Structure formats: structure tokens, C-alpha cells
Amino acid sequence: MSDLRIYVASLSDYNNGILHGRWIDIDESSDVDDIQECIAEMLRRSPAAEKYGDVAEEWAIHDYDGFKGFNLGEYESLERIVGIAQAVEKYPASVVSYLANDNSSLDGDELKSLIADRFVATIEECMGDDVQALAEHFYESVAEDPDLPERYRDHAEAISESMARSDINGGVYHVIYDGLGTHHIMYSE
């Protein structure tokens, strides 16, 4: 269960100097229609609409919690927010936020597809740099490669590090350091 939520405010109330809105929890089972119904309910209870006889129809996202590293706008689409919540349940939040912020034009499904295509692995307890993390990811396949000549088997670690350095410098992989020795590996494009 995620701790993502958005605060949606009534703009007709806001424009009349009244703070009226609602926190809405968002998780992997959230549905756009359910969120829209929560917003509609909040708008139906608009103090400004009741006081001035107007209909409250417009809303904006004025705050959010749990979206660490994300840049949500006031008019972020609900489809994208639901897509982000679903992706955060399956992938590291730092990977989701990195790709979401760099691809702000993608809707929720397109964003989830991009993350599925680009995310490779998470390396835990690696106290080295990005190259070392990718080298750890490569090591097992290099060390167990049946085509690796026997005389190079003792050098599998150096070969893995050389491959990692080449692939990072060549733009094949991108590594995000998440702190405490955790690195997330992604394909660059």
C-alpha cells in the first residue's frame, strides 16, 4: 500500500478567498472514475457555490504527499497520477520519478510501459559508484559464460568492470543512486 495522496481544491472557493478541498488517497488500485467522484463530491459541498449560488466545477491540485521526487502540476491528469501510483507499487520510486519527470507528456499507461522497457535491476549493498554497481550486475553472467576462455576466468571481475564503464560512458545504461548502497540500473534510451 502506498502513501500517495493529492489535495484537490475547489477553484471557485479559492477565488472567493475560501480554502475548500479534500485529500484523496492514491494507490495501485485507484481508479480515475473513483477519484473524479471524490472530486465531484468535494465540489458539490463548495461553500462559495452555496453562498453565491454558483456551480463549483473547476479544481486544481494544490498539494501532494508521498510523491517524493515527483513534480506534479496543478492540472496533472488523473490518468497520469494513477499511472505513477501503479508504477511506484512495482518499481523503485526514484526510477519512476526520474522517468516521469523527464517524460512529462506521457500518460499513465505510456509511462508504465516506458518504465517496464527501461528498468533493468536494483543492486543492494554496493558501496561503490555507478560503474561498480553495473559491474556487479554483469559479474554473474560474465563469470558463468561458457564461452569465456579458462585463462580469463580469474579476471571476470575486471571484465565486468570494463564492460560497465564502457556501457555507462557509451550511454547504454544509466544508474540512479538511491542511498545506503542501493543503485537502480536502467537502459538509457
Question: How many CB atoms within 10 Å of residue 85?
Answer: 23
Answer whether 164's CB lies under 8 Å from 185's CB.
no
Measured at the CA of 64, the angle between CA 103 and CA 80, to 5 degrees, comes to: 35
- Other Cβ atoms less than 10 A from the Cβ of 173: the count is 23
pLDDT of the residue at 66:
86
- H-helix or E-strand spanning residue 81: helix 78-90
Phi, psi dihedral angles at 60 (to 5 degrees): -150, 155
Reported as type and span, the H/E element at residue 56 is none
**Cα angle 28, 32, 33; round to 5:** 125
pLDDT at 38 over 60: yes
Express as a percent the part of the chain with pLDDT over 70. 99
Average confidence score pLDDT of the chain: 93
Give residue 89's pLDDT band: very low, low, confident or very high (50, 70, 90): confident
Q: How confident is the model at residue 31 (pLDDT cuts 50, 70, 90)?
A: very high
